[in-house]
Amino acid sequence: MKQFIKKLFASLDNHSLGYSGRKLSSLAGVMVGVYITVHEIPKTDLITALYAWLGFALLCLGIVTVQNIIDFKNGKENNNTDSNVNA
């Protein structure tokens, strides 16, 4: 536990001794997503808020990029298919 707290506070400095800021931000996004699904908010806004916070977590981790979101919104298909795969 002492090591965890030490690394957590080391994350606030500009050296590599602490945790990654992107990972801490994505953890916060997931935790907020869990919090809003457990506590009472209007059911009509629940899924939208959950998508927003989990999308934030994915952006922080780099699993989804802003360009991927823009392409999805505009209806463009992903052209990163392998040429050896027969579809």
User: In the predicted model, what is the mean pLDDT of residues 20-25?
Assistant: 82
Average pLDDT of the chain, as a whole number:
79
Distance CA 35, CA 70 (A): 28
Note the pLDDT tens digit of each residue in 58-71: 888 887 888 888 88
Q: Are 8 and 19 in contact (CB under 8 A)?
A: yes
Residue 82 pLDDT > 60: no
What ranges do the domains of the chain cover?
19-74
pTM (global) more than 0.75: no
Closest CA to 6 of 17, 16, 14, 15: 17
* pLDDT tens readout for residues 38-59: 876 777 778 888 888 888 888 8
How sure is the predictor about 83, in pLDDT bands with cuts at 50, 70 and 90? Answer: very low
